[in-house]
Structure 1
Amino acid sequence: MTKQILSPATIDLHAQLTSKEAAIRHTGQILVDQGYVNAGYIDKMLEREAVTSTFMGNYVAIPHGTEEGKKEIKETGISVVTVPDGVDFGGGNIVKVLIGIAGKGDEHLEILSKIAIILSEEVNIDNILEATSKDEIISLFNEVN
């Protein structure tokens, strides 16, 4: 049976993270712990970040692995982490919402498209940051089909 792409187990609200590396590792570790990826995927997420920042603006980063990292993916999944105090992604770019992506094959393109639709509305970013339950996050992501 295929896992849900987003579930309560892949969401962490109100995390306290002090560095970009810690934030990426935490976001990736959720995917590891829930069986979406092998542990090596986290290194590929860090490699991607070293090549180009996954900071998207509006307090959002979307860490994901390199093309080579795809071999570490078992199933498509995303993790959502909120960091109310923010974490510096360099250059004064503060991230408060991290969305980790692991997509099998070309599924990451569809996921990125849906995430882009959600995040194109600043009110949705606010709703993610103000969420008091994981179900609120899931409902927001399920609104886009």
Structure 2
Amino acid sequence: MEIQKNLIQLNKHFENKEEAIKYCGSLLVEGGYVNPEYVPAMIKRNEELSVYMGNFIAIPHGTDEAKKEVLKTGITIVQVPRGVNFGTEEDPKIATVLFGIAGVGNEHLDLIQKISIFCADVDNVVKIADAKSVEEIASFFEN
């Protein structure tokens, strides 16, 4: 999994999950990974099925219909120290690390699998959440 350091962001704060998802999408747009039309599809995907994965992580990504908007495979990693709620007030699901992804073909499935394996150990999520530099976060994903 190749990590682009310009897509890693530290110490971000979001009022809600839609704002967080849009931010991940905007990083993918600015990086040339997706067309702007991909971002609303990321919001729609979360409405259809939550992108919250447990262990304090969320993996915002677009719907299958939006695959045509993906220009190249990319992944954003956004640290949210205060967390953002992907659940409800009654059933909060707090994410402190966001992985915004876009994959050509079925490459997004590979990305989700690699992220899920790494983050299955909550200690790894804590390492990302507590990281003090972009380089430190990137180092966790180097082969």
1:65 aligns with 2:44: no
Deviation of the 1:36 alpha carbon:
0.4
Deviation of the 1:7 alpha carbon:
1.2
Q: SS of the residue aligned with 2:141?
A: helix
1:12 aligns with 2:6: no
TM-score, normalised by the number of residues in structure 1: 0.92
Give % identity. Answer: 44
Q: SS of the residue aligned with 2:77?
A: strand
- Report the residue type matching 1:135 in the other structure: E
Q: In structure 1, what is the Cα distance between the partners aligned to 2:53 and 2:43? A: 16
Q: How many residues align?
A: 140
After TM superposition, list the pairs within 5 Å mapping 1:1-145 onto structure 2: 5-90=2-87, 91-143=91-143
Q: In structure 1, what is the Cα distance between the partners aligned to 2:69 and 2:121? A: 32
Distance verdict in 2 for CA 1:105–1:117, change over 3 Å: same
- Report the residue type matching 2:134 in the other structure: K
Q: In structure 2, what is the Cα distance between the partners aligned to 1:130 and 1:99? A: 15
Distance verdict in 2 for CA 1:5–1:68, change over 3 Å: farther
* Structure 1 residue ranges without an equivalent (≥5): none
Q: Greater shift after overlay, 110-119 or 25-34?
A: 110-119
Deviation of the 1:5 alpha carbon:
4.2
Q: In structure 2, what is the Cα distance between the partners aligned to 1:137 and 1:126? A: 11
